[in-house]
Structure 1
Amino acid sequence: MTGEVDMATADALFAAATPAGVTGATLDLRAVTFFDSAAIHALIRLAERFPGTLEVLPSGRVRRVLDISGLSDQPWLKQDRG
């Protein structure tokens, strides 16, 4: 994903990550510049859909929003790799 994940695009994010037959997902959000509560809701839905098989690679802005939201310790949120 690139750009903004918000009320207008969060459902598309969820749909893209959940095609039929998929049992896990890796979301590369390192190029996301805006992330709102609708985006957080989509991540929570994905975590419920893919327990133990979801990975989220956050941008700094995404990580900040998840930190503020109290979600920074979720197992699906991956640490920076560099």
Structure 2
Amino acid sequence: MATADTMLQTALREPAGKITLDLSAVTFFDSAAIHALVRLAQELPGRLTVRPSRQVRRVLEISGLGEQSWLDPA
């Protein structure tokens, strides 16, 4: 929760063609992080790729976001 808004603001700070958000080392992902991620996906349609850790992927699956096009299938 403490870093979700920072993640969002940092990712949106500079214009970019594509953004890859590497969450592979993240072990805790709460509703604030989900909200920030969904907002980021809305702000960057077709330009966002998220590489989740096993824990993040599980949270996204439980929340119904496991099949989003921005979620790296690997």
Identify the TM-score tier after normalising by the shorter chain.
Answer: over 0.9
Pick the structure with more strand per residue.
1
Query: What whole-Å deviation, never above 9, does each CA across 1:11-70 have from its counterpart, x for those lacking one?
Result: 010011111323431100000010000000011001101000100000000000000000
RMSD: 0.9
Aligned length: 74
Question: Which consecutive segments of 4 or more residues in structure 1 shift more than 2 A?
Answer: 20-24
Q: Percent identity?
A: 59
Pick the structure with more helix per residue.
2
* TM-score (ref. length: structure 2): 0.94
Unaligned 5+ residue runs, structure 1? 1-6
* TM-score (ref. length: structure 1): 0.85
